[in-house]
Amino acid sequence: MNNDKQCKFDRRYLEMARIWAKNSYCQRRQVGALVVKNNMIISDGYNGTPSGFENVCEDDNGITKPYVLHAEANAITKLARSSNNSDGATIYITASPCIECAKLIIQAGIKRVVYGEKYRLTDGIELLERAGIEVVYLEV
Ligand SMILES: [Zn+2]
């Protein structure tokens, strides 16, 4: 794929991830992620509690519950239950991944990360770069 086309596709997928993020019932922050391989969306995720738990992310004090999964973690673990896999895939995330998700991204064999919103902590991005993963930041 040429660069212009890749860039156009990257923007479109990121836009889709933003739409997907709206599924999140979290009040503080809504994040979406899509895993794309061979031009196909093979998984998706948004931040939320594990399957079967109440659809509430924050406790009475507005603090995010410790068992809330991040969008990236949801998208990657969803693949663990499917017949597909993320080896060599690209993940589109509406926000910069944290270090915990960066570890999952590395171990899932994902080769490219496209994200759309910077975060004050950059340790996740640094870890991805250290692992030789291509990281692309796209402004809205
Ligand atoms: Zn995370």
Chain segment 49-61, per-residue pLDDT in tens: 999 999 999 999 9
How far, in Å, is the centroid of ligand 1 from the Cα of 46? 11
Secondary structure letter of residue 40 according to DSSP: E
**Where residue 2 falls among pLDDT bands split at 50, 70, 90?**
confident
Determine phi and psi for 74, rounding to 5 degrees.
Answer: -65, -40
How far, in Å, is the centroid of ligand 1 from the Cα of 96? 8
> pLDDT by residue (tens digit) across 35-44?
999 999 999 9
Decide the pairing of beta strands 32-37 and 90-93.
antiparallel
Share of the chain above pLDDT 90, in %: 94
**Where residue 1 falls among pLDDT bands split at 50, 70, 90?**
confident
pLDDT at 81: 94
How many C-beta atoms lie closer than 10 Å to residue 49's C-beta?
Answer: 16
pLDDT at 87: 98
How many C-beta atoms lie closer than 10 Å to residue 119's C-beta?
Answer: 13
- Which three-class secondary structure state does DSSP give residue 7? helix
Q: Is the dihedral of CA 97, 101, 106, 111 positive or negative?
A: negative
> pLDDT by residue (tens digit) across 78-133?
999 999 999 999 999 999 999 999 999 999 999 999 999 998 999 999 999 999 99
**Residues in contact with 112: Cβ distance below 8 Å, sequence separation at least 6, in sequence order:** 89, 90, 91, 133, 134, 135, 136
| Separation of alpha carbons 22 and 57, rounded Å | 14
> pLDDT by residue (tens digit) across 4-44?
999 999 999 999 999 999 999 999 999 999 999 999 999 99
- Which three-class secondary structure state does DSSP give residue 77? helix
pLDDT at 102: 98
How far, in Å, is the centroid of ligand 1 from the Cα of 104? 9
Residue pair 62/2 in contact by the 8 Å Cβ criterion: no
pLDDT at 139: 86
- Residue spans of alpha helices (H) in the chain: 3-21, 71-80, 99-107, 123-130
Provide the annotated active-site residues.
72
